[in-house]
Amino acid sequence: MNAKLHRRSFLESSAAAGAAFAAGSYFVSESGAQESKSLGSRIAVGVMGANGRGTALAEGFMGQPNCEVAYVCDVDENVLNRVSKAVADKQERKPQGVKDFRRMLDDKSLDAILVAAPNHWHAPATILGCAAGKHVYVEKPCSHNPREGELAVEASRKYKRVVQMGSQRRSGPAIKEAIAKLHAGEIGRVIYSRAWYNNNRPSIGHGQEAPPPANLDWTLWQGPAPERPYMKGDVGTGNFIVPYNWHWHWHWGNGELGNNGIHALDMCRWGLAVDYPIKVTSLGGKYRHDDGQETPDTHTVTFNFPGKKSIMWEGLSWSPYGPGGLSFGASFHGEQGSIVIDGSGYKLYDLKNKEMGGRTTSLGEREHFANFLDCIRSGRRPNADIEDGHKSTLLCHLGNIAYRVGRVLTCSEKNGHIQGDDEAMKLWTREYRPGWEPKV
């Protein structure tokens, strides 16, 4: 990685943002967010990481009024060309295609970046984006480790940028209604919440060191992560790391807990109205396949919070049947009943398990995109503001840290920091490639 380019782009972008602030071309709302667009103006966004979720983000934001995709960025030339063409076919403006997302940051006309690269990129890209004066929509989880999450919050506040995490259920109409019922006391005092994710994932095989494909810039794909050799798998399509199985390697991913657990845990924390846990217990292992996966495929985590409240998460990557037949969900248990949320709706039960109501609508993705754009124009904080994103993502990090050190964690209720365990706190951050250490 060209560290010199990194520093040059960062400093130039920061200077540009600072000049704009000094010129008085932005205002700060009561919520602390900062606006640079009039209410009816067109917003230009750039997509970082165009495969998978990046494609969905490009399509979703193109479908929003007064929004266009100005850049498509991907380190895989084949993906870059395919998605750039797809965007050009659906909007009047032809997007610029770039491999290095820092090229987007140097464009003062770009309003926001949509970060859909792998997890190890999420917070570093968010921080650099904020410093360059860009608003940021960052896919979940918002960080690869706890310290990055703290820095992402600091960057949003320092540069007064709107930063929304892609936990779209925060904008889902039915789910918002369910959470409002919880907070209004419709099932009494809510004490416990359960979350789960089930799937039937195949083996990823055993990795073999190999030259990276000619279409993939492997060094740029790794970005802030220290250099590792490219590996291909010995089963299926050879997808041992790229494009998806990086999720199951600690160097780049956060396992199923950070991949899908974050969605359910965010709802649990939201519904229980809790912030930081005081005890974290994590059990499980990698039981199903003999392969190169590092993260657990069978995982349970319990979080105890102040006020006698708890959240429990269960992840089974190899067994698709979950509680009530749902592969994904979250349930809330109060003194007068329960509420069960699936992907896009909820059901309310009394203490005799009689269904007393519910609603199903959309997942909330379209509304989530709209909320992000509205906040850029209005200066308000978004539904999944980076501070809430960090608090929910931190649950995933703490669950993984407790699993990796093999013991219960005691945490501060003020900020979630691990207390009395130096070994565990070493996993609060990570080593970075020289020149890529995130700073605010």
For 141-269, strand residue ranges (E) read: 163-165, 190-198, 208-209, 231-232
pLDDT higher than 50, residue 24: no
pLDDT at 6 over 80: no
Name the more confident of 10 and 302: 302
pLDDT for position 371:
98
- Residue 347 neighbours by CB under 8 Å, 6+ apart: 339, 340, 355, 357, 358
Q: How many CB atoms lie within 10 A of CB 274?
A: 21
Contact 276, 414 (CB under 8 A): yes
pLDDT at res. 5? 36
Mean pLDDT of 221-246: 91
Question: How sure is the predictor about 39, in pLDDT bands with cuts at 50, 70 and 90?
Answer: low
Q: 48 has which bridge partners?
A: 73, 115
Q: Is the peptide bond between 323 and the residue preceding it cis, with omega within 30 degrees of 0?
A: no
The rounded mean pLDDT for the chain is 92
Q: What does the pLDDT read at residue 351?
A: 98
For residue range 63-116, list pLDDT tens digits in order: 999 999 999 999 999 999 999 999 999 999 999 999 999 999 999 999 999 999
pLDDT tops 80 at residue 9:
no
- Pick the residue with more confidence: 32 or 63? 63
Instruction: Give the confidence band of 236 by pLDDT, cuts at 50, 70, 90.
Output: low
How many alpha carbons lie under 13 Å from residue 325 in its C-beta half-sphere?
A: 0
Percent of the chain exceeding pLDDT 70 equals: 90
Could you report the per-residue pLDDT of 319-377, keeping only the tens digit for each? 999 999 999 999 999 999 999 999 889 999 999 999 999 999 989 999 999 999 999 99
Domains of the chain: 3-170+368-385 (3.40.50.720), 172-201+253-364+393-428 (3.30.360.10)
- Is residue 212's pLDDT more than 80? yes
The string of pLDDT tens digits covering residues 270-313 is 999 999 999 999 999 999 999 999 999 999 999 999 999 999 99
Residue 234 — pLDDT band, cuts 50, 70, 90? confident
Cα–Cα distance for residue pair 177/276, rounded to 1 Å:
24
